[in-house]
Amino acid sequence: MQISPFTNSKLFKTAVSDFIVVGNIKIPRFTNSFWSSKQRQATSIHEVSYRACFKAELPRFFIELLTKEKDVVYDPFCGRGTTIVEAGLLGRKVVANDLNPLSQILCIPRFFVPSTDEIKDRLGKITIDYKAKAKINLSMFYHRKTEAEIVSLKNYLDKKQKNGNEDHIDNWIRMVATNRLTGHSKGFFSVYTLPPNQAVTPESQIKINKKLKQVPEYRDIRKIIIKKSKSLVRDLSMDQIQKLKTIGDSLKFFTCDAQLTAKIKPESVNLTVTSPHFLDVVNYSGDNWLRCWFNGIDSQNVDKSIKKSKAVDEWETMMFGVFEQLYRITKASGWVVFEVGEVRNGSINLEELLVPLGIKAGFECKAIIINSQSFTKTSNIWGVKNNSKGTNSNRIVMFHKS
């Protein structure tokens, strides 16, 4: 049965703002406020920081609109896992992919939520060597005692991983610690720095410290991990925790190029909700160098593996390869929802580039949706001042497979 989101959803009672024309096909573009623009309206389990991620309200909107329980939801550019975690909370089966190995570290543990007592008990058993020191200079970020605690935890996790006996409690602690390495409040291990979705260079942090006349003070990382763990699950019910575990038991997570997903079965996915990288806007390895260090990941290899195209034609070639795979794995009457943005001061609208690529791959393009919203602190840092420019505008292209 073909679903018509324009008749089945009350939220689509809005006028067509304009059309774009591809060949002889007119595609409507809708502009409205389709979901909340307020911060932190989603379930607390989503509060894991990562660059270039959308709010959970976006995938929830389309998952509820276009799927039913036990349908399969996929994200080929999984990032921090907003789509797949929301799908899990809604009882949908999940398939995920991301070339960045940090993605698995941030995503999978949230499907297997440990109790606070389990976390406290495990942290209490980890030996802290207060003589431990990182092999790189981190003195601009951490108090000497805090650094020793971080390195001791890193050594513990490295050993568990090497021996192949990390469990869901270790994985949860790794995820939370990775998320708490740097930030702009006392809820992080570091001295005041940029928001936690990006780590500045040591040289830049020295300048920040000098400007703010600050020196790193001691932070008890075990207390911070426990506090953040409680915050992540503060509004999760036991039913939701069990639902996540049930979905997690069958979760499939791949770490390959989104153009090369042969391991995903043909016509197995009901809905894809994703957001690809926008040309070369985000520096994934640079922003995550400290997270990579903590998890023993070579950030330079991450940079090489994630194909960021400066040229529009290169980006289009890559995205067409992704669309070919999406068409192969999408079920008949299935959907693909791409969230993109304007880049380069609004001179490029990526949704207008995506439409012909999806059509060429075999999809029908049903609509372009612009979700109008107010801007976050991060977008203001980037210089975004209105809804006509910037990566914070949700610009969504909806494709359908007949």
Residues of the chain with pLDDT > 70, as a percent, come to 82
Find the range with the poorest average confidence among 151-160, 172-181, 196-205: 196-205
The reported pLDDT for the residue numbered 3 is: 46
Record the pTM: 0.89
Alpha helices in 233-331, H assignment, sequence order: 238-249, 284-287, 289-294, 299-305, 312-329
- Mean pLDDT of the region 142-160: 98
The reported pLDDT for the residue numbered 41 is: 64
Using the structure block, give the residue that is written with the tokens 């790794």.
Answer: 174
Alpha helices in 9-91, H assignment, sequence order: 57-66, 82-89
Find the range with the poorest average confidence among 134-143, 240-249, 337-346, 349-358: 337-346
pLDDT in tens, 232-263: 999 999 999 999 999 999 999 999 999 999 99
Of residues 280 and 357, the one with the higher pLDDT is: 357
- Phi/psi for 121 (5° steps) reads -60, -45
**What DSSP element (H or E) covers 20?**
strand 16-22
3-class SS shares of the chain: helix, strand, coil, % to 5: 40, 15, 40
Bin 218: left if φ > 0, else alpha if -120 < ψ < 50, else beta: beta
What is the distance between the alpha carbons of residues 320 and 19, in angstroms, rounded to a whole number?
A: 22
**What DSSP element (H or E) covers 400?**
strand 394-400
The reported pLDDT for the residue numbered 295 is: 97
Residues facing residue 330 across a β-bridge: 269
Of residues 8 and 49, the one with the higher pLDDT is: 49
What is the distance between the alpha carbons of residues 251 and 97, in angstroms, rounded to a whole number?
A: 11
Of residues 123 and 386, the one with the higher pLDDT is: 123
- Write down the mean pLDDT value for the chain: 87
Find the range with the poorest average confidence among 83-87, 139-143, 289-293, 300-304: 300-304
The reported pLDDT for the residue numbered 34 is: 73
Q: Residue 126 has which token pair?
A: 């980890």
- Mean pLDDT of the region 81-87: 97
Report whether pLDDT(138) > 60.
Answer: yes
Report whether pLDDT(127) > 80.
Answer: yes
Residues facing residue 254 across a β-bridge: 97
- HEC string of 1-62 equals CCCCHHHHCHHHCCCEEEEEEECCEEEEEEEECCCCCCCCCCCHHHCCCCCCCCCCHHHHHH
Residues of the chain with pLDDT > 90, as a percent, come to 68
Report whether pLDDT(392) > 90.
Answer: no
The length of the chain, given as a count of residues: 402
Report whether pLDDT(345) > 90.
Answer: no
pLDDT in tens, 163-184: 999 999 999 999 999 999 999 9
- Mean pLDDT of the region 128-151: 98
Of residues 378 and 104, the one with the higher pLDDT is: 104
- Mean pLDDT of the region 276-295: 78
pLDDT in tens, 371-391: 775 544 333 333 333 344 444
What is the set of domains in the chain, with CATH numbers?
5-111+237-282+309-400 (3.40.50.150), 116-232 (no CATH)
What is the distance between the alpha carbons of residues 379 and 54, in angstroms, rounded to a whole number?
A: 12
- Mean pLDDT of the region 301-327: 82
- HEC string of 101-127 equals CHHHHHHHHHHCCCCHHHHHHHHHHCC
Report whether pLDDT(47) > 60.
Answer: yes
Sign of CA dihedral 125, 220, 234, 90: negative
What is the distance between the alpha carbons of residues 73 and 336, in angstroms, rounded to a whole number?
A: 10
What is the distance between the alpha carbons of residues 382 and 376, in angstroms, rounded to a whole number?
A: 10
Confidence bin at 370 (pLDDT 50/70/90) = confident
Confidence bin at 19 (pLDDT 50/70/90) = confident
The reported pLDDT for the residue numbered 306 is: 65
- Mean pLDDT of the region 303-330: 85
- HEC string of 207-255 equals HHHHHHCCCCCCCCHHHHHHHHHHHHCCCCCHHHHHHHHHHHHCCEEEC
The reported pLDDT for the residue numbered 192 is: 95
The reported pLDDT for the residue numbered 13 is: 56
